[in-house]
Amino acid sequence: MLNKYHLIADFNIEPLKGFILNLDREAEVSISPYGQVMQEIYKKEVFDNKNVILWTFIQSVIPSFSEVLNLNKYSEKNCLQEVKKYSEAIINLSKKQKFVFLVSWTLEDSISSYGLLDWKPDIGVSYILAKINIYLSDLLSKYNNIFILNSNYWIQNADKVAPKIWYATKVPYSPSVFDNAAKDIYSSYLALNGLNKKIIILDLDNTLWGGVVGELGIEGVNIGGHNFIGEAYQEFQRALLALSNKGIQLAIVSKNDEIVALEVIQEHDAMVLRKNNFSGWKINWKDKASNIKALLDELNLGTSSAIFIDDSPIERDWVKKSLPEVLVPDWPDDPALYVRALAELNCLHTATISNEDRNRTKMYVAERQRKEIKKNKVSLDDWLISLNTKVTIHALNNNNIKRVTQLFNKTNQLNLKTRRLSEKEILKWLNENKQNKKMHIIEVEDRLGSIGLVGIISLELVNKEVIIEDFILSCRAMGRKIEHLMLSLAYIFAKEKEAKVIKAEFIPTKRNRPTYDIFNDSIFKYSKDNIFLSKIDAQINFPKELSIENKSI
């Protein structure tokens, strides 16, 4: 279970525990004794592989900062040396923990400053604080299980704490700060566990632009221009585009005439989002829940990965009732509040951003073109051959480990065991009993573009049997014989190692039934207790529709 938290603070952090538990009823939260920050960091093996959240006042762990706060002349060098020492303690702590979340340092309201000189080098309080936060971030940047959470976001949108609460209980922040913090932490948990949302499905009229295009025509819709409502819609589109740039897909489900609606998207001068920014759309007069389901099926995404945004409460209610796994947020009536409502969704965190994420929409546009080609081809084999698919097989290396970790933690449907592993745990698995293990990483491209690193198969020889430990394939590569290629790699490894049998244990989840189907439809035989077996007596060839380059040897 990933949602076990341990809180370390130099103030009373009990309210955060309450907010986390109210948000995630399955979480377990423990708290270190009050004010024992450094003692707890240096303790050995006490947190049982939990997510440690470390929230301190800066002066508690960087003693020289007290001089800064007292407006005495301070030594920047001393401050930064202490930051370095603190970072080493954090790195040491992270070796024993699943993840460490540090909360960035901010200034308390009561702290005096130099006013005009506050951002001057060598004297300003804000200047040295910013430098310290950036220096700490740089020192920790290469550690993939350490994250710094931005407390400014929590504090700037929250009430002030009643001073009496601080003096009486040593709780320094108002409940709304802890509420924001808990939501941010929970969203991080979702991202690290592959449960964050992957796609935002949008209505058009009065959602992406003002007015009903069917009545007003392309000239009549309100977007951009010189009025605040039009500007608000345009700003909302910019915010959506930014999310798309970090890998969140956008799609449209709208009751409209498709030709008219697409004309606005392609031709209106003030539109920020264009056709190529959308992974797909269903613009017709059918009910929206059916359209959403059909669209997600086309994109190989589950309903739980989607958010649906619509200005109409009736449409929202219908989708909520029909597809309870789709997140349908209450949406403000005022378009000026759309950007804020989007920012408050708190389920769109990403743990890493890979090239695959940044180019995801482009990949889906290419996928749409592939499907068009498929419609015009007689057979699946013809279609696959026409795509000129090239597969490169890699070993695990420094260049691909981030994406591999992401695939381990984000892939749900084609995932044999759904092992959620950190980078450290993947390397640990591979390096133990190394001579009997193999991990192949699969990269795919075709004539329409790169599909990216999409598959992992990890294998281990145990007592003359080859065990398929992981079989992970991104949905977008499904149905292109990549899965057959991956099973062929298991056969090659088994032959190399003179194994008698290949074994795959399927661990069912709510979402990985397609993996079961792949094994069931292959030459593997279902044995019992979700075990699939195959003997090594057949000649297995790579699928002829794929051209293969093996760089993993």
Partner 1 sequence: MNYENENFIELIYGSIKEVNKQLAPENHLKLKVNEYLVSEKSPIDSLGLITLLIHIEGEISKNFNQNINLIEEELITEVDTPFETIGSLAEWLKDNVK
Q: Which C-beta is closer to partner 1: that of 161 or that of 407?
A: 161
Tokens 């004539």 locate to 447
Q: Compute φ and ψ for 212, nearest 5 degrees.
A: -105, 115
| 545 touching partner 1, by CB under 8 A | no
| 172 touching partner 1, by CB under 8 A | no
Which region among 68-76, 139-147, 166-174, 309-317 touches partner 1 (by CB under 8 A)? 166-174
Q: Tell me which of 1, 116, 168, 538 binds partner 1, using CB under 8 A.
A: 168
Which region among 22-30, 80-88, 428-436, 446-454 touches partner 1 (by CB under 8 A)? 22-30
Alpha-carbon distance of 144 to 422, in angstroms, equals 8
Q: Tell me which of 18, 329, 449, 514 binds partner 1, using CB under 8 A.
A: 18
| 171 touching partner 1, by CB under 8 A | yes
Output the smallest distance, CB 46 to partner 1, in A.
21
Which region among 9-17, 278-286, 332-340, 412-420 touches partner 1 (by CB under 8 A)? 9-17
List all residues 6 or more positions away from 54 whose beta carbon is below 8 Å from its beta carbon.
Answer: 8, 9, 37, 41, 90, 100, 101, 102, 103
* Identity at 328, one-letter amino acid code: V
Q: Tell me which of 11, 14, 368, 386 binds partner 1, using CB under 8 A.
A: 14
Q: Which C-beta is closer to partner 1: that of 15 or that of 455?
A: 15
Output the smallest distance, CB 22 to partner 1, in A.
6
Alpha-carbon distance of 440 to 417, in angstroms, equals 16
Question: What burial class does residue 385 get, using C-beta atoms within 10 Å of its C-beta: 0-12 exposed, 13-18 middle, 19+ buried?
Answer: middle
- Please give the C-alpha separations between residue 7 and each of 32, 41, 102, 176, 468, in angstroms, as whole numbers: 6, 11, 10, 18, 37
Identify the helix (H) or strand (E) that includes residue 457.
strand 449-462
Q: At what angle do helices 76-94 and 125-140 cross, to 10 degrees?
A: 30
Any idea what DSSP says for residue 33? P
Q: Tell me which of 35, 175, 449, 543 binds partner 1, using CB under 8 A.
A: 175
- Count of positions on this chain that bind partner 1 (CB under 8 A): 19
Instruction: Tell me the three state secondary structure of residue 122.
Output: coil
Alpha-carbon distance of 396 to 455, in angstroms, equals 12
Which region among 16-24, 37-45, 69-77, 238-246 touches partner 1 (by CB under 8 A)? 16-24
What track of x and - describes contact with partner 1 for positions 26 through 65 (by CB under 8 A)? Answer: ---x------------------------------------
Q: Tell me which of 46, 71, 130, 162 binds partner 1, using CB under 8 A.
A: 162
For residue 79, the cross-strand partners are: none
Alpha-carbon distance of 481 to 320, in angstroms, equals 36
| 158 touching partner 1, by CB under 8 A | no
- Sheet holding 199-202: strands in order across? 280-284, 249-255, 199-202, 306-309
Q: Which C-beta is closer to partner 1: that of 10 or that of 311?
A: 10
Output the smallest distance, CB 175 to partner 1, in A.
5
Which region among 160-168, 189-197, 242-250, 355-363 touches partner 1 (by CB under 8 A)? 160-168
Which region among 14-22, 110-118, 441-449, 515-523 touches partner 1 (by CB under 8 A)? 14-22
| 528 touching partner 1, by CB under 8 A | no
| 165 touching partner 1, by CB under 8 A | yes
For residue 281, the cross-strand partners are: 252
**135 within 8 A of 80, measured Cβ to Cβ:** yes
Which region among 114-122, 169-177, 243-251, 414-422 touches partner 1 (by CB under 8 A)? 169-177
Helix/strand/coil (H/E/C) assignment for every residue in 396-456: CCCCCHHHHHHHHHHCCCCECCCCCCCHHHHHHHHHCCHHHEEEEEEEEEECCEEEEEEEE
Q: Tell me which of 11, 12, 131, 511 binds partner 1, using CB under 8 A.
A: 12
**319 within 8 A of 213, measured Cβ to Cβ:** no
Tokens 């193999």 locate to 438
Output the smallest distance, CB 326 to partner 1, in A.
26
| 142 touching partner 1, by CB under 8 A | no
Which region among 66-74, 157-165, 353-361, 485-493 touches partner 1 (by CB under 8 A)? 157-165
Tokens of 253: 């489900």
Q: Which C-beta is closer to partner 1: that of 24 or that of 263?
A: 24
Q: Closest Cα to residue 123, out of 113, 133, 132?
A: 113
Q: Tell me which of 19, 99, 506, 532 binds partner 1, using CB under 8 A.
A: 19
Output the smallest distance, CB 196 to partner 1, in A.
23
**Strands, DSSP E only, in 162-267?**
199-202, 249-255
| 17 touching partner 1, by CB under 8 A | yes
Q: Please report, as ranges, the residues that interact with partner 1 according to CB under 8 A.
A: 12, 14-15, 17-19, 21-22, 25, 29, 162, 164-165, 168-169, 171, 175, 178-179
